[in-house]
Structure 1
C-alpha cells in the first residue's frame, strides 16, 4: 500500500459512490445514465464512426511506414513471451467471455429479432447477421486496442516513461502538467472505465455460467447462485493476478485458448460443417466489399435503422474505446521487444480472424437450428442461447459442460488482467504492482459486479461505460498526436547521431 498514489484513492472513492448508488437507487442510476447515453448516441454517433476508422487507417500507415521496423524497447531487448503465449494473453484480455456470450446471441438477434437492413427471417437478414457480427468484433475493435497499446509500449520501453495514460501526453502538455491534477484525472478516467467495463462483463459472465448450470443440471437460476459463482471466480482471478503475468495469467490464457479451439473444432465437426464453410467464405467476401460502407453508415434519414446503429455499432465502438485503457496497457506490458509492424499485425489481423472463425462456427450452427425450425433460439435468454444451440447437436451435453469451463477461464483471465492493469495505473505505472493493491482492486471489481447481479444495475453500468468512453476518445486522439511528435523527434535525433 506504500506505493499507492492519489489516483488509487480517487478511484476507490468514485467506485464506492457507484456501488452505493447502484445498491440504493438502481432505477435512478439507470434513468440518469440512459438519458445521457441517448444524448451521446444522437449527438456524437458521427464522431465515433469517424474516429474508429481514422484509428484503423493510422495503424495501417504506421505498420507500412519507416517506423514499422522500430523495436518497442532497446535494440537488444528480446520478447518476454513466445508468440503463442503473447497472442493467448492479448486475445483473452481483449475479448474474454464476451466472445462466447455473443457468438450465438448476436447473429440470432440480427437475423430474427432486429435486422440491420432487411426483413427479419429472410435470407438477406441471415447473411447480414453474420456480416455485421464480423464487423463489430473484427479489425475495428482491435485497432482501438492496438493504437493505445502501441503508444503506451513506446513511451514505456523506448522513452522510460511510467506505464500511465497521462505519461504518453507529456510531449504535448509537458511533464509538469501531466504530473499534476490534469494527469491524475486522466488516469482516474482510465481506471474508472476499466472498473465499470470489467464489472459489467463479470456480471454477464456469472449470469451465463449460472444460466448454463440451470439449463444443464436444473440448478436454481437465482441471484444467490450467481453471487456464489462470482465469489468463487473472484478467488480464482485474485490468485492468478497474485501469481503474476509470467505464471498464473500466462498459464490460464494458454489453457483457455487450447480449450476454446478444442470446443470450436468439436462443434464444427458435429455441426453443419459445409454450411459453416460456405457462410464463412461468403461473409468474409461481403465484409471486405462492404467494409467502408458499414464503417461510415449512420442512416440519418431512417429512424429505425439509426436506432439499430445506435444500439449496436455505436455502442460497440464506445465499448471498445472504454476498454482500450485496460486492454491497451496490458498488451503494452507483454509486448516489449517486438517491432511496431509485428505488434500491429499481431494485434489487428490474427485476433480478428479468430473472432471471425468463432462467429462462423457458433453463429451458423445457431442460425441453422432456427432456420430449420428445430428450436426457436431467438426465444432463449442471452445467457442460455449458446446452451440451447449445443443441445440440438451430437455431444451436446459434453459441449455445454466444456463451454462452461471455457467461460469460467475467460472470466478469470479477463478479470486477472484487469486487476493487474488497475494495480499498474494506481502505483505510478509499476510493471509489477504489489499484491495488496491487486487484491483490493479484485474485490472492488467483484463488489461492483455483485451490484450488477443482485440489484439489476447492468444497464446503468453499461451506460456509464458509454459516458466514460466519450472523454477517453479525446484522450486517444491526443495520444496519437503525442506519439507522432515523440517518434519524429527521436528519428531526427538518431539521424543527427
Structure 2
C-alpha cells in the first residue's frame, strides 16, 4: 500500500500473532496475561502513581510558564474547530464508553463493597466513592493526555515534523528516530493503542449486550457480543471512510447531545437536591485530598492493596495505553491554539464535565441502593439499566444510554483508526482508507479475542501489561518537549 511504513507491517504481524494465540490457547492466554498483570501491578504500582502525579505538575507548570504563549502552529494560525466542537471531540475520544459503563457502577462499588479507606456501606464511603471516581477520571487523566498531545502538536504544527510519537524524541536522539529505534517507539505506541481501544470496545459490547438483554431479553454471551461488535465495526468503518471533518466531528457532537440529554434527565428525575449537595461536598473532598490520593501506594497489609490494584492502578494503566491514540487525536484537532489555551481547556473542561457526570449517576445509584433496592446484585454492565428501572421514564433512559454507548463506540474506534493510520503511514494527516479499515478490523478482532478468552478480566489484565512499555516513552517525550520549548522561548525572545 502506498506510503505505508514498516510500523504498519510489524504491528499488524504482532497483533495477528496475539489474536491467533488467544483464539487457539484461550486458557493459557488468560493465565499468562494474569500473571504478568499481577507482577506489574505489584512491582510498578508506585511507579504509575508517581508518573501520573508528575504529569499533573508538568502540565500546570507549562501552562503557567512563558511557554504557554507559544502557539501550536505558526504565529498566524487559528483553531480549526470551535471551542464547543473541540470540547466534544476531547470528551468523546478521551472518555467515551467508560463513562456510561462505570458512571453508576464505580461509585456504587466503592460505597458498598470496597471503599479505599471508609467502612463499606457508610455515609463516608458514599462520599468517598464519588471523590475517588472524580480522581480516577479527572485531572490526572487529562494532564497525561494533555502533555502527550502537546508534544505531538508542538512538533507537528510548530516544527513541521511528521505526526509520529518518534518525531517528538528528535531533540534527544536526532536522526536515530528515523531508523530502527524510531520504528520501535512507534510500534510500541501503535500496539498500546490497539489494545487500549480494544478494551473500550470490549466494555461497550458487554454493556450494549447487557442493555439489550435487560430491555428485550437479548441473549447474553460471546455470540451476541460478536454480532454487536461486527455491526458496530461496519458502522465505524463507514464513518472512518468519510474523514475527520465529517464522521468524527458529527459523531462527537452527537455524543455530546446524547450525553447532555441523559445527564440532565438524571439530574431532574433523580434526587436533584442530593446530587447538587453531594457534588459540592465531594468535589471539595477531591480537591482537598488530591495530593494524598495521588501518592497512595497502600504499602502495608491493612491498607486495602487489592482495591488500589483493581481500581487506581488499572485506571492509570488504561489511560496510559490510550495516550498515543487520544494524544494524537487531541493534537490533530488543536492546531492554532496557544499552549496556555490548549492546556487550560484540556485540564479544566473535561475534569468538570466528568465530575458532574459521576456526581449525578453515582449519587442516584447510591440513593436507589439506600431506598432498599439492591443494585450490588447486578454485574457492572447492568447496574445502570437496573438503576433506571427505579426512576420514571426508565425505558427512554435505557434506550438513550444504549444509543450513547453505540455512538461512543463508533467515535472511539473511528478516531483510533485515524490515529493508527497516521502512525503507520509516516504521520500522514490523510491516511489511506485501506489502512484505516485494516486497523479497524484489527481493533475489533482484539476486542473479540479478549472477550472470548476471559471477558472483562482478560481485558483488564492485558491493559496493565500493554501500558508499561509506553510509559517509559512518555517520560522521554516530556524531557524532549521541555528541551524544545526552552529553545523556542529563547528564539522568540531573540526576535524581539
TM-score by length of 2: 0.98
User: Which residue of 2 is the match for residue 342 of structure 1?
Assistant: 341
Aligned to 1:236: 235
Contact 1:130–1:363 (CA under 8 A) maintained in structure 2: yes
Matched, 1:442 2:459: no
Q: Find the counterpart in structure 2 of residue 105 from structure 1.
A: 105
1:196-345 correspondence to structure 2 within 5 Å: 196-345=195-344
Aligned-partner Cα distance in 2 for 1:419–1:275: 41
Alignment correspondent of 2:408: 410
Q: How many correspondences in the alignment? A: 495
SS at match of 2:104: helix
Give unmatched runs, 5+ long, in structure 1.
none
Partner of 1:379: 377
Do 1:131 and 1:284's aligned partners in 2 also have CA atoms closer than 8 Å?
yes
Deviation at 1:300, TM superposition (A): 1.1
User: In structure 1, what is the equivalent of residue 429 of structure 2?
Assistant: 431
Inter-CA distance 86–288: structure 2 relative to 1 (3 Å threshold): same
Give 2:454's match in structure 1, choosing from 453, 456, 475.
456
Unaligned runs of 5+ in 2: none
Q: Which residue of 1 aligns with 2:84?
A: 84
Structure 1 window deviating more from structure 2 (487-496 vs 192-201): it is 487-496
**Alignment check: 8 A CA contact 1:26 1:460 kept:** no
- Supply the distance in 2 between the matched residues of 1:293 and 1:388 (Cα, whole angstroms): 34
Decide whether the 8 Å contact of 2:195 with 2:321 is kept in 1. no
Q: How far 1:458 sits from its partner (Å)?
A: 4.1
* TM-score, normalisation: structure 1: 0.98
Is the contact between residue 7 and residue 187 of structure 1 (CA under 8 Å) also seen in structure 2? yes
* 1:100-135 CA-partner distances (Å, limit 9, x unpaired): 000111011101121111221111111111111111
Q: Deviations over 1:46-89 (max 9, x none)?
A: 11111111110111011110011111000111111111111111
Stretch deviating more after TM superposition (181-190 or 457-466): 457-466
Kept in 2, the 8 Å contact 1:198–1:414? The answer is yes
What is the CA distance between 1:303 and its match in structure 2? Answer: 4.6
The DSSP-based 3-state class of the residue aligned with 1:67 is: helix
Q: Which residue of 2 aligns with 1:159?
A: 159
Instruction: Give me the whole-angstrom Cα distance separating, in 1, the residues matched to 2:31 and 2:303.
Output: 22
- Say if 2:66 and 2:489, in contact at 8 Å, map to a contact too: no
Q: Structure 1 residue 304: deviation in Å?
A: 4.9
- Alpha-carbon distance between aligned partners in 2 of 1:50 and 1:448, rounded to the nearest angstrom: 30
Cα RMSD, aligned residues only: 1.2
Given that 1:155 and 1:168 are in contact with CA atoms closer than 8 Å, whether structure 2 keeps it comes out as yes
CA contact (8 A) 1:166 1:183 kept: yes
Return the alpha-carbon distance in structure 2 between the equivalents of residues 459 and 303 of structure 1.
25
**Structure 1 contact 111–120 (Cα < 8 Å) conserved:** yes
Asked whether the 8 Å contact 1:227–1:453 carries over to 2, the reply is: no
Separation in structure 1 between the aligned mates of residue 174 and residue 9 of structure 2, nearest angstrom: 24
Distance (Å, rounded) in 2 between the aligned partners of 1:140 and 1:72 = 22
Q: For the residues of structure 2 that align with 1:168 and 1:206, how far apart are their CA atoms?
A: 35
2:186 aligns with 187
